[in-house]
Amino acid sequence: MSMSPALTDLVWPRRTERLVLRPPVLDDMRAVHAYRSDPETARWLTTLETDLEQMASRLLDGARTLVVERDGEIVGDLMLAVKDAWSQREVADEARGTMAELGWVIAPAHRGRGYAVEAVRELVTAAFELGVRRVEAGCFAENAGSRRVMEKVGLRQEGYYVRESLHRDGTWRDGMSFGLLADEWDLEARRPRG
């Protein structure tokens, strides 16, 4: 049984046209915590960031989190979690580490500039360079910003789930899932083939 690939298996930092993607360091955590604890941002996050130290211990492992910089300022963060694909027991070893879940957060002051799309395109490229065969991402259906990012990056909507996601406010909300296969992505152009 081999270890699943992780972001630490790649060379960082990576540069896009306007951004630098790199593993986070302790000095980044105050800036990250500031935008992650913003009420409008926190509304859509899986984890409510109330404690800076707990958030830092979770994000600083380097295996699945990156920060996004623009001109030396933290503008967001990314998550790439390599997982095992569902499989039948007899072929489970072949499904290990073959898919990756993507996530992103852009600070409110930096939204609407295309940073998420630019950063997530590079994240998709990194995932496929790690050898996964599929990437996926999901969101609450009401989260129009994340939905647009997935569409602009080139992920395909694969599911719409009625009241399947429990929000921390106690309401069941619609959820959406998007995915993309490695053979649908052009590594050089950093966009879908075709």
Task: Please tell me the predicted confidence (pLDDT) of residue 194.
Answer: 77
Q: Could you list the residue range(s) of the whole structural domain that residue 115 is in?
A: 7-192
143-184 confidence digits (pLDDT tens): 999 999 999 999 999 999 999 999 999 999 999 999 999 999
Q: Tell me which of 2-6, 19-23, 24-28, 67-71 is least confident.
A: 2-6
Percentage of the residues of the chain whose pLDDT score is greater than 90? 91
C-beta neighbour count of 145 within 10 angstroms: 14
pTM of structure: 0.94
Task: Please tell me the predicted confidence (pLDDT) of residue 73.
Answer: 98
Residue 56 lies in a domain: yes
Residue 1 lies in a domain: no
54 vs 62: CA distance, rounded Å: 15
65-78 confidence digits (pLDDT tens): 999 999 999 999 99
> What's the CATH number where 177 sits?
3.40.630.30
If one counts the domains in the chain, the total is: 1
Encoding tokens for residue 151?
Answer: 């569409």
Mean pLDDT of the chain: 95
Residue 104 lies in a domain: yes
128 vs 81: CA distance, rounded Å: 12
Distance from first CA to last CA of the chain, Å, rounded?
36
Residue 83 lies in a domain: yes
CB 19 within 8 A of CB 66: no
Three-class secondary structure of residue 29 per DSSP? helix
Residue 2 lies in a domain: no
Residue 69 lies in a domain: yes
pLDDT, mean of residues 18-47:
96
